[in-house]
Amino acid sequence: MAKEYTVGGRGFLDNLGKIYAIYTGGFFGFVIVLGILEQLGVPNRYIGYGFVFLTIAVYAAIGILSRTSEVGEYYVAGRSVPSVYNGMATGADWMSGASFVGMAGTLFLLGYDGLAFVLGWTGGYVLVAVLIAPFLRKFGAYTVPDFFSERYGGAFARLLAVIVLISCSFTYVVAQIYATGLIASRFLDLDFQVAVYAGLVGILLCSMLGGMKAVTWTQVAQYIVLIVAYLLPVVILSAKKYGIPVPQLTYGQAIQDITNLEQSMISKGLADAKTLKPHIKPFTTYDPLNFFALIFCLMVGTASLPHILMRYFTTPSVREARSSVAWSLFFIFLLYFTAPAYAAFSKLEVYSLINKGTNLTDLPQWIYTYGKIGLIKLCGKDAVDAAAVAAACAGKATQLRLQDLTINTDVIVLSTPEIAGMPYVIAGLVAAGGLAAALSTADGLLLAIANALSHDIYYKLVDPNAPTARRLIVSRIFLLVVAVVAAYVASTKPADILSMVAWAFSLAAAGIFPALTLGVWWKRANTPGAVLGMILGFGTTLYYLVGTRYFAPSFYEMWSWLGTATPAAAQKYADLKAAWMAAAPGDAQAAAWKAFDTHAQSVASWWGVKNISAALFGLPVGFLTIIIVSLLTPAPSRRVQDMVDATRRPAGDLIMADKGAGGMVGGH
């Protein structure tokens, strides 16, 4: 892609449609060329290299062409991104490597209950559009903490918002870099640590020179790659199987077949009726309370994540901020309403294989391919090859049975091309898509963290007189430092951090949502209320998360009167505790502690709510605190109330002046 004019400049903005159409066409051409090369006998390994290097080179080129020395362009892309393109960029920003690779697998494993994620990660945009985004756009902030500072009386509220922002974004960005490393190492045969730092270079090239402006235009390019990569394999599969290339419609048939196969497998003794979760049956994993609590927390969390909210600072107008949320959801919807189809098709494939009574001696090749990298287990052991499977299942089974098969959630999307017998080029495409999803999300998150440190901490709190050039240099230094620290943490493969990503939604929801929405919708909300509300809401959520996960026994003992442990579970707790206290120091004690702690984690709760939905407690605490404390203390000043009024009206200047910014209020 040769671009003569600068990315993000006038000539670029006037020709967006043409440029991205050429880009998309070029990308398809590239896939076809690699497909032809594969037929000519070029080894798969080089096809994989081709995909990964060329796509990263394109993103890097866009990032470098978007370099800027203007503060307004660096922080908010000059507020000149049209709503449809901002929608695409938000889609890429939002859909992480885990969504791309793992979502269909989660639906495969959980069936109906997994749809809580599909619902939770889409419906939140209704809250963004109605309650938040247009008002933040009118406000004219550079960062989300800017709003807190202006609305709630300065430095302390700003600092609290920064703390919430960093605590919910950092674990998240580590997980993205981890995903980049995983995909790169799997498809390029690089060492994982090396792959992590290679991914880091890709991420920095996209964001460092051009800030938000560069990230925006690479995210649009990344969205196109990721959506093509997600849709193409399953569209081909649907066309092959049912003659209609619309998987979202045809998988209804697959669901019926799955339900029939479930019965058939049980009657043949190839599946265990006790452990099989019928695909369409609700509430097999989560009880209704946890199902709806999870949906609720994911939705409110979505509406509170700073790296998403800041995307709506970049549109030319308040009106476009609103339509941009609609476009964002549309582009996200394209992937999320396809994920259940992926899950259904793979499940049908696997269940058919089991149902026809496959001997363990003639399993299909893909089981060993993924068994070798530890993603498929049979009878509790990695399915490395026929001999390993025979050894693991000896005396248990001679045929493939559902209860002996363990499939990692990442396998479903990665293996679909292979299971359906498609050429390797499609698998390479899927890898490029997963990489695009992880890189784009990492870029958005890194920028959110680095901007909070450079704009909110350095410029607003430490040195308000810093000249533009120095502010931009500081921004870039923070970006680099945060990125390197995140990559270092990712390279250690921290199991805990990865599971903590799910916490980000609850932390963001409890810390940010009440003060943000009341700040716009309730003029009476004042500084003491908001500050206390943020501390108590966030604190409650953090206490619940950490307490139920890391201090489960003491949490349980303190709160057993609020828990839902059955008498049998309570008895088991007492027995395990006694066993741990009686165990001899050393290995025996450690093992006893592990059993005790694991059980304690399953009973430590308030009303049985799982800790992924911790915001269920933090949100009401936050809202009530803000309301009660605000009503007990004096109303905000006339100036603040007028400012809220101005925020509510789209017309007029931005509330916070864009000092030294290139693009002022855009217009058309």
Binding region for another protein (CB under 8 A): 112, 115, 118-119, 122-123, 125-127, 129-131, 134, 248-249, 251-256, 280, 282, 288, 291-292, 295-296, 299, 317-319, 322-323, 325-326, 329-330, 333, 336-337, 340, 521, 645, 648-651, 667-668
Long-range contacts of 9-16 (CB under 8 A, 24+ apart): 13/80, 13/82, 16/82, 16/85
CB 324 to another protein: min, Å: 9
**Amino acid type, 112:** Y
Residue with smaller CB distance to another protein, 85 or 556 = 85
The stretches of 40-154 forming alpha helices (DSSP H) are: 44-65, 71-76, 83-94, 97-110, 115-127, 133-139, 144-151
List all residues 6 or more positions away from 566 whose beta carbon is below 8 Å from its beta carbon: none
C-alpha 630 chain-centroid distance: 34
CB 255 to another protein: min, Å: 6
Residue 106's H or E segment, with its range, is helix 97-110
Residue with smaller CB distance to another protein, 290 or 548 = 290
Judge residue 30's burial from the number of C-beta atoms within 10 Å of its C-beta, 0-12 exposed, 13-18 middle, 19 or more buried.
middle
CB 452 to another protein: min, Å: 28
CB 10 to another protein: min, Å: 19
Task: Retrieve residue 543's tokens.
Answer: 């206490």
Give the angle subtended at the CA of 663 by the CAs of 662 and 667, to the nearest 5°: 165
Residue with smaller CB distance to another protein, 31 or 298 = 298
The stretches of 337-467 forming alpha helices (DSSP H) are: 339-355, 365-372, 386-393, 411-419, 424-451
CB 250 to another protein: min, Å: 8
Distance CA 289, CA 363 (A): 40
CB 562 to another protein: min, Å: 24
Q: What is the largest CA-CA distance in the chain?
A: 80
Contact present, 207 and 447 (Cβ < 8 Å): yes
Residue with smaller CB distance to another protein, 326 or 466 = 326
Residue 154 has phi, psi (to 5 degrees) of 100, -145
CB 242 to another protein: min, Å: 10
Bridge partners of residue 359, in order along the sequence: 399
Distance CA 96, CA 240 (A): 29
User: What is the signed CA dihedral for 159, 161, 167, 172, rounded to 10 degrees?
Assistant: -140
Residue with smaller CB distance to another protein, 216 or 323 = 323
CB 367 to another protein: min, Å: 28
Residue with smaller CB distance to another protein, 521 or 607 = 521
CB 362 to another protein: min, Å: 31
Distance CA 111, CA 105 (A): 10
Cα-only R_g, the chain: 26
Task: Retrieve residue 288's tokens.
Answer: 């209704």
C-alpha 15 chain-centroid distance: 31
Residue with smaller CB distance to another protein, 123 or 608 = 123
Neighbours of 131 (CB within 10 A): 15
CB 272 to another protein: min, Å: 23
Residue with smaller CB distance to another protein, 242 or 559 = 242
CB 539 to another protein: min, Å: 27
Residue 540's H or E segment, with its range, is helix 527-550
Residue with smaller CB distance to another protein, 182 or 255 = 255
Task: Retrieve residue 621's tokens.
Answer: 């605490």
User: What is the signed CA dihedral for 433, 437, 438, 440, rounded to 10 degrees?
Assistant: 130
> Closest Cα to residue 237, out of 110, 341, 369?
341
CB 668 to another protein: min, Å: 7
Distance CA 253, CA 360 (A): 29
Residue with smaller CB distance to another protein, 115 or 188 = 115
Residue with smaller CB distance to another protein, 161 or 325 = 325
Residue with smaller CB distance to another protein, 272 or 653 = 653
CB 380 to another protein: min, Å: 31
Contact present, 59 and 651 (Cβ < 8 Å): no
DSSP annotation of 312 reads G
CB 64 to another protein: min, Å: 34
List all residues 6 or more positions away from 515 whose beta carbon is below 8 Å from its beta carbon: 148, 152, 157, 525, 530, 533, 534, 622, 626
CB 329 to another protein: min, Å: 5
3 state SS for 169-212: HHHHHHHHHHHHHHHHHHHHCCCHHHHHHHHHHHHHHHHCCCHH
CB 627 to another protein: min, Å: 17
CB 483 to another protein: min, Å: 33
Distance CA 341, CA 337 (A): 8
Task: Retrieve residue 323's tokens.
Answer: 């339509």
**What angle separates helix 552-559 from helix 587-603, to the nearest 10 degrees?**
40
Distance CA 648, CA 636 (A): 17
Residue with smaller CB distance to another protein, 18 or 639 = 639
Residue with smaller CB distance to another protein, 130 or 588 = 130
Residue with smaller CB distance to another protein, 528 or 666 = 666
Residue with smaller CB distance to another protein, 287 or 597 = 287
Residue with smaller CB distance to another protein, 115 or 160 = 115
**Amino acid type, 23:** Y
